[in-house]
Amino acid sequence: MSTTRQQIVEKTSILLERQGYHATGLNQIVAESETPRGSLYHYFPQGKEELAAEAIEFNAQQIAAHTRRSLAAYADPVAAIYHHLLAVAEHVASGNCSGGAPIAAVALETANSSERLRASCQLAYEAFRLPLEEKLLAGNFPAERAYALALTITAAWEGAMILSRTERSAQPLRIVAEEIRTFLLSGSPAPH
Amino acid sequence: MSTTRQQIVEKTSILLERQGYHATGLNQIVAESETPRGSLYHYFPQGKEELAAEAIEFNAQQIAAHTRRSLAAYADPVAAIYHHLLAVAEHVASGNCSGGAPIAAVALETANSSERLRASCQLAYEAFRLPLEEKLLAGNFPAERAYALALTITAAWEGAMILSRTERSAQPLRIVAEEIRTFLLSGSPAPH
DNA sequence: GTCTATACGGTGATAGAC
DNA sequence: GTCTATCACCGTATAGAC
């Protein structure tokens, strides 16, 4: 797989996360990824929409993989999820981060205007939720509970990302991580 | 207060909710609000940013007022919040809605590029949270719990809005509403 | 595969008449 | 207060040389 192509996709995913779809121009992508101008339409003949769709799917797979690795640190699903969320919160707080809320901006901007990008975002949110759901299932949460809880965690975390970015503070992420932990504990299946 | 001016602000708030900041052009605002082209820079001499800031604050006050009215229907805060969220979910499902997630798109797009709009969004999120917090306080939740819970509800609901828009289904909103109810019940202060 | 040049539409914003 | 005309700029996308 071409390095140039991969560089374009990765840089695009970062810019989309930070600025959203419409604020991210192809000129900026070419400039900041330091790739040849002529390569863009060579690798992505359908233009910006095709590139954005691929960047979103790339971003989603990266996050899903990272989440699975992170959750493997604890056998107990509640502890695993709690520590995973706290680690993400501190990573955001440290500033070494594209922004948090990896695809929310694109999802909101394009849900009504591009079926292709909407579908990519839907796949991405499933990719975010699945590692959580699997971990809860492995910890003996019933299937329906695991689904509803994983969906709720995904929603609460995405919302907390928005609040933290808006307030320029990791505090909302930290608070929501605590509340999620409390909630999961209150509904944990009895150990046997 | 001038009707023309108010029409511009209201239409802008709808378009920002549906499309975000960069996808919403001044031409579209003028056209769809059916206001005179010359009025825009007459009422908003600082241009698009000033108009957007006012639209966000208008939207926030509207939602806060609606939330307070809606929460007044039940004395018990858990029941009040639950029924309020369900009503919003069905309103979104009905389609008579600008989109849900009133300011999330703008918040994400502008958090890193416009201090003014970031500040407006921060105020808006406080306006969303306060009615919930007040209701919980009135129901004898301790102050710190009321704050953390109201913040978490705000985050989870904003995230659920994004998921529902992306999936084109009110199901995420309904599920998250149920989970929030369960969570609040598990942590309710003992009645006396 | 990559480059340069360019077409063409739309953007926010301004000037000046009325 | 409102209208029209116009500005300079930037967006995506394309054509054709190399």
Q: How confident is the model at residue A185 (pLDDT cuts 50, 70, 90)?
A: very high
Q: Where are the alpha helices (DSSP H) in chain A?
A: 3-19, 26-33, 39-43, 48-71, 77-94, 104-110, 115-138, 143-167, 171-186
If you search the block for the tokens 């007044």, which residue do you land on?
Answer: B72
In tens, the pLDDT along A141-150 reads 999 999 999 9
Measure the CA–CA gap between B182 and A11, rounded to whole angstroms. 41
Nearest chain A Cα to B148, which residue? A175
Whether residue B192 is predicted with pLDDT greater than 90 in this model: the reply is: no
| Distance in angstroms (rounded) separating the CA atoms of residues A40 and A47 | 8
CB A164 within 8 A of CB A115: no
Residues 1-40 of B with CB under 8 A from A: 18-23
B156 has a pLDDT exceeding 80: yes
CA distance A130 to B29: 40
What letter represents residue A18's amino acid?
R
The predicted pLDDT at position B98 comes to 85
Q: Report whether pLDDT(A192) > 80.
A: no
Which tokens sit at B84?
A: 């309020």
* A124 Cβ contact partners less than 8 Å away, ≥ 6 residues apart: A56, A57, A59, A60, A102, A103, A107
Average pLDDT over residues A2-18: 97
Q: What percent of chain A has pLDDT over 90?
A: 94
Report pLDDT digits (tens) over B25-74.
999 999 999 999 999 999 999 999 999 999 999 999 999 999 999 999 99
Question: At A155, which amino acid appears?
Answer: A
Q: Is residue A139 scored above 90 in pLDDT?
A: yes
Average pLDDT rounded to a whole number, residues B70-81: 98
Q: Which residues of B touch A18 (CB under 8 A)?
A: 112
Q: Which amino acid is at A144?
A: E
Pick from A48, A50, A52: which is nearest to A26 by CA? A48
The nearest CA of chain A is from the CA of B175 a distance in Å of 6
pLDDT higher at A100 or B167 = B167
Tokens matching residue A174: 């930290």
Residue B100 pLDDT greater than 90, yes or no: no
Residue A96 has pLDDT above 90, yes or no: no
Residues whose CB falls within 8 Å of the CB of residue B34, separated by 6 or more in sequence, listed in order: B7
Mean pLDDT across A153-166: 98
- For the CA of A125 and the C1' of C7, the distance in angstroms is 39
CA–CA distance, B165 with B104 (Å, rounded to integer): 12
B-chain CB neighbours of A20 within 8 Å are 20, 22, 105, 108-109
Residues in A closer than 8 angstroms to B116, CB to CB, are none
Size of interface A-B (CB pairs under 8 A): 162
Residue A119's alpha-carbon distances to A10, A100, A122, B18, B166, in angstroms, are 20, 20, 5, 17, 8
B104: nearest CB among A104, A149, A168: A104
Q: Is strand D within 7 Å of residue A47 (CB)? A: yes
Flag whether residue B138 sits within 8 Å of chain A, measured between CB atoms.
no
Q: How far apart are CA A154 and CA A158, in angstroms?
A: 6
The pLDDT of residue A191 is above 80: no
| Residue A100 banded pLDDT, cuts 50, 70, 90 | confident
**Across the interface, do B163 and A155 touch by the CB < 8 Å criterion?**
yes
Identify the pLDDT of residue A98: 85
Cα distances (angstroms) measured from residue A151 to each of A108, A125, B32, B80:
18, 9, 36, 23
The C1' atom of C15 and the CA atom of B2 lie apart, in whole Å, by 25
> B64: which 2 tokens?
């806060």
Q: Is the pLDDT of residue B111 over 80?
A: yes
The verdict on a CB contact (< 8 Å) between A166 and B23 is: no
Residue pointed to by tokens 């309710």: B188
Contact list, A118 vs chain B (CB under 8 Å) = 166, 168
CA distance A124 to B177: 22
For residue B189, is pLDDT > 90?
yes
- pLDDT score, position B2: 86
User: Which residues in chain A have Cβ-Cβ distances shorter than 8 Å to B177?
Assistant: none
How far apart CA B121 and CA B108 sit, in angstroms, is 9
When pLDDT is averaged across residues A101-123 and rounded to a whole number, the result is 97
User: What is the b/e burial string over B73-90, where b = at least 16 CB atoms within 10 angstroms of the residue's CB?
Assistant: ebeebbbbbbbbbbebbe
Q: In order of start, what are the domains of chain A with their CATH numbers?
A: 50-186 (1.10.357.10)
A97 reaches B (C-beta below 8 A):
no
Instruction: Read off the pLDDT of each residue in A171-179 and give the average, rounded to a whole number.
Output: 98
- Inter-chain contact B175–A152, Cβ cutoff 8 Å? yes
Rounded Cα gap, residues A129 and A71, in angstroms: 13
- Work out if B41's Cβ lies within 7 angstroms of strand C: yes
Count Cβ atoms below 10 Å from residue A25 Cβ, excluding itself. 12
Give the confidence band of A56 by pLDDT, cuts at 50, 70, 90: very high
Mean pLDDT score across all residues of chain B: 97
